[in-house]
Amino acid sequence: MTQINPAKKTFDIGVGGMTCASCVARVERALSKVPGVEKATVNLATEMARIETATQANAEPQTEAQLRRAIRDAGYAPRTTEAINNEEHNFKPWAGFAPVAWGLALSTPLVLPMLAEPFGWHWMLPAWVQFVLATPVQFVLGARFYKAAWHALRAFTGNMDVLVSLGTTAGWLLSVWLWLSARDGAMPHLYFEGSAVVITLVLLGKWLEARAKRQTTEAIRALHALRPDHAHWMSPDGEVDVPVDEIRVGDLIVVRPGERLPLDGELKEGATQVDESMLTGEPLPVSKSLGARLTGGSINGDGRIVMRVSAVGYETVLSHIIRLVEDAQAAKAPIQRLVDKVAEVFVPVVLFLALLTLLGWLLSGAAFETALVHAVAVLVIACPCALGLATPVAIMAGTGVAAQQGILIKDVQALEMAHRVQIVAFDKTGTLTVGRPRLTHCVSAAGQDANQALAWAAGVQSGSEHPLALAVLAAAQVRGLDVVPVHDMSAVPGKGVKATVQGRLLLLGSLRWLQQEGMAPQEWADEVAALQGQGASVSALAERTPEGVRGLLLMGFGDEPKPGAAEALAELRARGLKLVMISGDNPAAAEAMARRLGLRPEDGEVLADVLPGDKAAQVQALRATGQIVAMVGDGVNDAPALAAADVGMAMGNGTDVAMHAAGITLMRGEVALVAAALDISARSVAKIRQNLFWAFAYNVAGIPLAAMGYLNPMMAGAAMALSSVSVMGNALLLKRWKPKSEASTHAAQRA
């Protein structure tokens, strides 16, 4: 039997030893050559490789061991998840600084005479002392560069290590040659200090990078820290503390005041308030009563509660959030593809430019040592470290701070695209409105008992989770009506439901569908017009008889706008965006709700009478105008439209299907977060562009200056280290971002 859709598997493997964008390209090429690998993406900032493999019928299943071997053969060290986690857990602020300290201690005496010269102190260390100080820096502290450069050259590629090792070795060899070839008693000008300082500065830059990288992953670590290690399990013998990993779905666990909820579940005993701020960004505690949904990682208030576990392990909301953030940080933004192409040819081009610099100075009549020093400066300043870090660190910082504010960005392309959005389309029910409509009007047909008809309607709707169905069931319960058993129930997607109740063939759904089935258009015409004029959604219950379809009960439903929705839409309009509400309601009802929300039906901001299956087509029509479209929705029927939009945003209070289809999830389900998501997208993309500008600017400006002799190797090394650190620091400024609404709230509180 041929396997049409091969089973896919994703591996995340740590990669040690990468130093620049060229290393990333080399690891990706090595992994892509492994049979069965469909896609390999390497992130320099996280030092992780994500590999997607396909197990095909005619191919040997790929294993993680084969992928790790490919990484090692490429000259890098595959790292286990356990090793990475232990390193994170045991991290100390000054870890890894020892080589930098030794480099500073050995290089400082070499630099001091040069620093003293402007003050009139002319003295120089003996050549043998300079040699003794510089050689350990060159070949002991710098051994990592030689090792990595050797692996790169064996693979016929280049990277930062090749440039550093070539440049500093050339300076060291030139100094040794000048020392040994000097006349007795002469003191030649040596360049030991240049090579030693360059290596020390590169080591310092890498150490600062490592510290900054840790700050960009704080959001992930903070999410992991939300998971308690133990839970109070209610065993047959009483309350017992057990590891969370041993808890199963259906178990009862106790959560004491002030403790974190270990897992997702349902409140079975007690009442409390829960702080969900780390998960949703909502600062105010949320009241929970019996039957309420509880999310693992949130903090219990002042009540002792008992909860029944509904999800464990990777199925919990917290685990899902962590995976979304990790996926986004592991992914590669589209803009990074250009950087990767540049990185592949960057080192060979730099080597060529260094050779041209050497030959150019020699042909101009300069001494060989002068020409070589300028060529070394070109090699040192052109290291592409900042180029490889520019995009991933900005993405990590942006997605991390967004997650802390309740905005989950699982698709990096959505992050890069969102700031360009020109049209924002909204689903109505559950997105712009509360989504809990109430049955406000019941009009029975002549000779029909309204309560009897409502009981039939409740029976027909008993198996549905649709908001209008729940409203019918709630109204029947309030009136004390028994739900009537139904038979042969079948749904007509986007239109209604058919069922047999007490021998009657009943139809419940939209008036348009019922009229298509044969109900007279004039039935309830005045009542329908009045209800729709008030903004009510209308549906009806009808019976199919030998004489045709006759109406039994007209039902009008009322919903309320979400708190703050009108203000959020006004803010989006102020940003110059076009707003559209897509609704399945009739035009009168949809326009009435739109006006309550501040939308303008006369300007085409309302699309009414849209069947659930047609929402995606409406989004495609909006995109066909050539504009970038974002779709915001919450229900299962919104999933195709979310996928069809350039940027899909799912409300976190909606369905899992919608959240899977969307690139961005708004955990609080607040309309205000739409503007916040667009804002963090704009800021993240701005940081990416700034970082790329500075990364390229250092090289575009630095290489000619070094080639013309305006930068010596030490200054070039300092500039190269500064480029990487400045890119990291610029990206970390994103950590101070807060949504405008929250920032204004904090300002008001301070005032």
Catalytic positions, written as ranges = 427
Element (H, E) at 297: none
| Contact between 41 and 330 (Cβ < 8 Å) | yes
Three-state SS string across 360-400, please? HHHHCCCCHHHHHHHHHHHHHHCCCHHHHHHHHHHHHHHHH
| Separation between Cα atoms, residue 472 and residue 555, nearest integer Å | 9
Whether 438 contacts 471, CB under 8 Å: yes
- Asked if 709 and 366 touch (Cβ cutoff 8 Å), the reply is no
**Burial class for 581, CB neighbours closer than 10 Å (0-12, 13-18, 19+):** buried
Spatial CB neighbours of 560, under 8 Å, sequence gap ≥ 6: 433, 434
Q: Tokens representing 160?
A: 């930062």
Task: Specify the DSSP element, H or E, that contains 673.
Answer: helix 672-707
Of 520, 538, 632, nearest to 587 by C-alpha is 538
- Residue 460: burial class (beta carbons within 10 Å; 0-12, 13-18, 19+): buried
Contact 688, 391 (CB under 8 A): yes
Distance CA 296, CA 712 (A): 57
Asked if 654 and 434 count as a contact pair (C-beta separation under 8 A), the reply is: no
Exposure on the CB side of residue 389, measured as CA atoms within 13 A: 32
Query: Which helix (H) or strand (E) element contains residue 539?
Result: strand 537-545
Give the tokens for residue 568. 């959020």
End-to-end Cα separation, the chain, in angstroms: 72
Tally Cβ neighbours within 10 Å of residue 480.
7
List the beta bridge partners of residue 37. Answer: 53
Picking from 430, 740, 409, the residue whose alpha carbon sits closest to that of residue 574 is 740
3-state SS class at 68: helix
Alpha-carbon span 404 to 216, nearest angstrom? 13
For tokens 């309320």, name the residue: 560
CA distance 541 to 485: 16
Token reading at 205? 């830059």
Cβ neighbours of residue 252 closer than 8 Å, sequence gap 6 or more: 233, 234, 268, 306, 307, 308, 309
3-state SS, 694-718, equals HHHHHHHHHHHHHHCCCCCHHHHHH
Residue 498, strand partner residues:
490, 507
Bridge-based pairing of strands 423-427 and 629-633 is: parallel
Beta-ladder partners of 487: 500
Give the residue ranges of DSSP H helices in 54-191: 64-73, 81-89, 98-116, 127-136, 143-154, 160-181
CB 734 within 8 Å of CB 212: no
**What is the chain's alpha carbon radius of gyration, rounded to the nearest angstrom?**
33
What's the distance, CA 48 to chain centroid?
A: 16
